[in-house]
Amino acid sequence: MIEVLILAVALSMDAFAVSIGLGSKRVKKTKSLAIIAAIYFGLFQALMPFIGYFGGKGVLGWVENYAHWIAFFLLITVGGKMIYEAISEGVEEDIAQITHKVMLILAIATSIDAMAAGFTLNLLEVNPIVACGIIGVTTFIFSLVGVFIGARSGTWLESKAELLGGIILIIIGLKFLVF
C-alpha cells in the first residue's frame, strides 16, 4: 500500500504545480478556485489510472513476461516528461481567464500521464478502486493546497513540485526492474 501512496503523491505533483500556477493569477475568489481545481484534478487523476488499469489488464495476458519492462518504460517516460515540464514554461501563464472549459482541459492534460501509470497497478497487489481513490484524494488535497500556495507566494514552488514528482516516478520505475 505504501507504493500506492508514493505513486499518488508523484502523480499529484503535476496537478499541484498547475494549481500553484492558477493560484498565482491572483483571482478574487481563491477559495472557490481551490475547490474547483481540487475537484477537477482529483476526479480526473482518479479516473485515468482506472482506465489505464483496465487497459493494462486486457493486455497483461499477452505481455505478462515483459510487464515489468513495460511498467519501467512507462514510468520512466512519464517521470522524464514531468522533469522536462519542470524546466520549461507552464501552460497556466497563457491562460487569460479560468473557466470550466479551461479547468477541464487542464484536468485532462495533467491526468493523461496517470493513465499510463495505471497500467502499473496490475503489477501491484492492490485493489484498483482503492488505489485510484487514494490517487484521487491525494490529488484533491495537493490541488487544493496548491492554489492557496500560489495565491500567497507565486510560482516559485511550481517547477520544484513537478521535478520531485518526475524523480519519484523514475525511482518507482527502476524498482520494477530491481525487484
| Number of domains within the chain | 1
93-150: per-residue pLDDT in tens?
555 577 888 888 888 888 888 888 888 888 788 899 999 999 999 999 999 999 999 8
| Dihedrals phi, psi of 95, to nearest 5 degrees | -85, 120
Ordered DSSP codes for 23-37? HTT--S-HHHHHHHH
- Cell 520512466 sits at which residue? 76
pLDDT for 13 equals: 87
Largest CA distance in the chain: 54
Structural contact between residues 18 and 98, judged by C-beta atoms closer than 8 angstroms: no
Q: Is the pTM of this model over 0.85?
A: no
Environment class of 91 (CB within 10 Å of its CB; exposed 0-12, middle 13-18, buried 19+) = middle
> Can you give the residue range of the structural domain that contains 99?
2-178
Give the whole-angstrom CA distance, residue 158 versus residue 18.
7
Spatial CA neighbour of 176 closest among 123, 110, 103, 122: 123
